[in-house]
Amino acid sequence: MTSEPASEPAAPVEAPTQGAPKKSSGRLIAVLAVLALGGGAYGTFPLWRDLLGLPSAPASESFEVENLRAELAAATNRIAQLEAKPPADGSDAARLDRLEEALKSAPARAAAPIAEIESISKQLADLKRYSAEASAVLRLAERLEQLDLAVRDLQAKRSSAAALLLAVGQLREAVAAGRPFDSEWRAARVLAGEDTESLGLLDQIKPQAGEGIAPRAALVQSFDVLAPALIRAEILPEGDGWWRRTADRLLSLVTIRREDGAAVGANAAAVVGRAQAAVSRGDLAAALAELDALSPGPAQAAAPWIAAAKARQGADKALSQMTAQAVALAGSGVRVGP
């Protein structure tokens, strides 16, 4: 009796992983069905072996048959479990498709942030440029405001200087007419402000502001009357007794010939003649210089006129300088006044 060849044990069947496609699952079921049929035939081999008159398998082969039966039972149980599970709904495949599409579209999505970053960078550059332009506009506006303030200040300075010039003109008119000029002096003093030169010139004529200063025409007329008295004063005796008063009345009856301006000498007649010629031509400085040479008697008699002439000379000089100063202030734009 020939022995049957030992059958190879059936390989364990691995269950398909969850989520495999329907086609792979069908193939696996078909293979398992074939194995089940083969295993069933092999398991019932002792029954139909005797019917066919085949020799019995040895004990070792019986042990292998039992193993095959156990493995077949396990495979059958596994197949039953797989068949009991609901069929795959394709969600995993759809998820894989989405992942594949996501991988394909990843470069395009990565390019979008880059483009957005470039756009933001451009906007930042534009903002910086606009900021720089805005700063330039602000600086120009500040400069324009400064220039406007400077122009206004210059106009105010020129206006105040022009007002001072007008006040000095009114002051000169009052002084030239011999009128009291206290109000004109005060107005000029206010408009002079802190200009020290103008203030100093105004202080020179302040003592005569209440009474005024004799005009030039009045000085000429008064010197014509004073000239004979100056000549007589040199002849009259000193003192203030009756003899001097009598001699003065007698000499007043005598006509004294006036010397012309070319008279030479230091006597009263020559000095008075030269001084009177200078007064007639308006040269008070020359007249005062001549009168300084008078002897004490005539000098005492001429003292009031000399004081008035010096006041007129000083006022004219101060007012001329004030006029020049006011013109200079108006031209330079230096602010004066309150």
Q: What is the pLDDT of residues 60-105, one digit of tens each?
A: 556 676 777 787 788 777 777 766 665 555 566 677 677 677 666 6
**C-alpha separations of 204 from 173, 201, 310, 313 in Å:** 17, 5, 12, 11
| Cβ neighbours around 110 below 10 Å, total | 9
- DSSP string spanning 169-182? HHHHHHHHHT---H
Q: Rounded to an integer, what distance in angstroms lies between the CA atom of residue 238 and that of residue 247? A: 11
Q: Which of these, 305, 290, 304, lies nearest to 216 by C-alpha position?
A: 305
Q: Where are the chain's structural domains? A: 22-89, 169-332
pLDDT of the residue at 34: 65
Residue 139 has pLDDT above 80, yes or no: no
Closest to 45 (Cα-Cα) out of 59, 67, 62: 62
Hey, is 338 helix, strand or coil?
coil
The mean pLDDT of 236-253, rounded to a whole number, is 50
Q: Which tens digits make up the pLDDT trace of 166-224? A: 899 999 999 999 999 999 999 999 988 888 898 999 999 999 999 999 999 999 999 99
Q: Given this model, what pLDDT does residue 16 score?
A: 44
pLDDT (tens digit per residue) in 12-41: 444 444 444 445 556 666 666 666 666 666
CA distance 315 to 170: 14
Say how many C-beta atoms besides its own lie within 10 A of residue 208's C-beta: 20
pLDDT of res. 195: 84
At residue 75, the pLDDT reads 78
Rounded Cα gap, residues 265 and 261, in angstroms: 11
pLDDT digits (tens, 9 = 90+) for 269-314: 888 889 989 999 989 999 999 999 888 888 888 999 999 999 999 9
Q: What is the dihedral of CA 231, 233, 237, 241, to 10 degrees?
A: 140
pLDDT higher for 193 or 245?
A: 193
Confidence of residue 237 (pLDDT cuts 50, 70, 90): very low
Q: What percent of the chain has pLDDT over 90?
A: 24
Question: pLDDT confidence of 228, banded at 50, 70, 90?
Answer: confident
* E-assigned strand segments in the chain: none
- What distance in Å separates the CA atoms of residue 50 and residue 46, rounded to the nearest whole number? 6
